[in-house]
Structure 1
Amino acid sequence: MRTEIIELLRKEGKLSKNTLSELANYELHDFIDTVKEVGDNQTKYIKKEEILKNLNTEFIGKNIYIFKEVMSTNTVAKFFAEEDDSDGLVIVSEKQTNAKGRTGKPWESPLGGVWLSIILTPHITQNKIPIITLATGVAVEKAFERLGIKNAEIKWPNDVLINDKKVCGILTEAIAKFNTIERVIVGVGIDVNLNVDELPPEIQEGTISLKSITGKIIDENEVIAIFLEEFEKIYELINESKYEEILKEWRKKSYSIGKTVEVRPPFSKSYDAYVVGVDSEGILIVEKTDGTLEKVISGECIIKKQ
């Protein structure tokens, strides 16, 4: 984290006069005011004032910092989470240079997308963390509906698809001490206006953008404001422990339920199975070919083409 924060400030010219030996004398929290200053600077494409004037929330996104370029909004959010106790603080960047997905795979984040992270202080236990990811997928889908896009589906655990192609990825990371959840970082990446044909060839086929679906440029500021509104609604359900309401909404738009998948556990042999649904903690339930039921807690589930 320290390297990424220093690199951010160097690119902004905030540390150009400091030597490496001088920087070694600084604690990480010494940089917080400077990072906030950079996050308050005017950016070219995504505008704080445009987001806030249309944002109808009680607390999500009311405290927001926008950057031109960071390695990862989740990393910057973790830094803020240690220095600022605001619930619902949002970090946005016009571009990410080293973002990662759930399994550590690179997440392409060029100009034209919405790349943001939300810092939360939820009142939940460790076993309910997966529900936050599913809830975020529901919020994304509902935001798309408000933008006139009706055919989005949510793929377990952290993708939103349109026409069988990925348009959004979600990365939820918990900050815990002594088995107590202190903060949760929810990272969201939405392919809004980027040109898919400019992405690496290996991911072009499975990727789609809102622009390619609608045939028009969509205001990223509007997308952010609408998504944050939908997220706050479903986050309130989390804090009220109304998990079944969230899961009910997720099941309505599930891309995974009813499909045959290849389950790839991290430390054991892959196997084929049929997706039955999710349990009360958001864990995927599959039926193996021998008829036994299995919980998929980690690893990958690859949809098998029929």
Structure 2
Amino acid sequence: MYWRLEAGMAAAMGLSLVVGVAIVEALQSLGINGVKLKWPNDLYYQDKKLAGILVEMSGQAGGAANLVIGMGMNLNMCEQVTGIDQPWTSLSEVADKPFSRNELVVAFIKAWHAALEDYELRGLHGFVERWNQHDNFLEREVKLIMGAREVKGIVKGIDATGAVLLETERGVEAYVGGEISLRKA
């Protein structure tokens, strides 16, 4: 989906979080429950990856940002798929009922449009609590991988800037980069 963000490129920080919330809520509106979010841009179901979000942007400082928002969702993947390095699931396994791809697309576009309009008016403010309600790793021990550096802690949700909050031995700290992976017991 294309979106012109009048507030500019700096305002686009956290958009994948907003899109994630919109997708989870769109799925709920279709009766597909239990989908969770993984910071900053994945959807999970029972600790298995269901979808990933990508937000590409272009623009110039002081001007509007041109966004292309996309999502890859596993719809009907079969068990024989190889080469995937993480647990995954498919919407056909998650849904309690048959679903229509057209119905999904309509629900996603409507949800994204409403979420993006809200985001332009209020920023992340209206999404932080909603994100935290759907956070797959809330109150769970994780490791945040940032290149060669790892930070271990307990997830405490996201803050008003979209940073992930980790409780470490130094207290609650905010991080804006990295990849979260579950810490192995």
* Structure 2 match to 1:302: 181
Greater strand proportion: 2
Question: Does residue 1:184 correspond to 2:67, yes or no?
Answer: yes
Residues 262 and 270 in structure 1, CA contact (< 8 A), matched pair in contact too? yes
Could you tell me which residue of structure 1 aligns to residue 118 of structure 2? 237
Which amino acid is 1:298 matched to? G
User: Please, which runs of 5 or more residues in structure 2 have no aligned partner?
Assistant: none
Q: 1:286 is matched with which residue?
A: 166
CA drift of 1:125 comes to 4.5
- Looking at both structures, which has the greater relative contact order when contacts are Cα pairs under 8 Å and sequence separation is at least 6? 2
Q: Secondary structure at the match of 1:199?
A: coil
Aligned length: 185
SS at match of 1:140: helix
8 Å CA contact 2:52–2:73 kept in 1: the answer is yes
Structure 1 residue 218 displacement after superposition: 2.4
RMSD: 2.1
Q: Is the CA contact 2:6–2:63 (under 8 Å) kept in the aligned structure 1?
A: no
Structure with more of its chain in helix, by fraction: 1
Aligned to 2:101: 220
1:261 counterpart letter in structure 2: V
**What percent identity do the matched residue pairs reach?**
22
Equivalent residue for 2:28?
A: 145
Correspondence list, 1:1-306, <5 A:
118-178=1-61, 180-192=63-75, 194-203=76-85, 206-214=87-95, 217-266=98-147, 268-288=148-168, 290-305=169-184
1:196 maps to amino acid = C
For 1:284 and 1:269, how far apart are their aligned partners in 2?
16
Whose radius of gyration is greater, 1 or 2? 1
SS at match of 1:206: coil
For the Cα contact (< 8 Å) 1:128–1:281, is it kept in 2? no
Q: Structure 1 residues 168, 254: CA separation in 2 closer, same or farther (over 3 Å shift)?
A: same
Q: TM-score, normalised by structure 2?
A: 0.88
Q: CA, structure 1 residues 126+269, in 2 after alignment: closer, same or farther (shift >3 Å)?
A: same
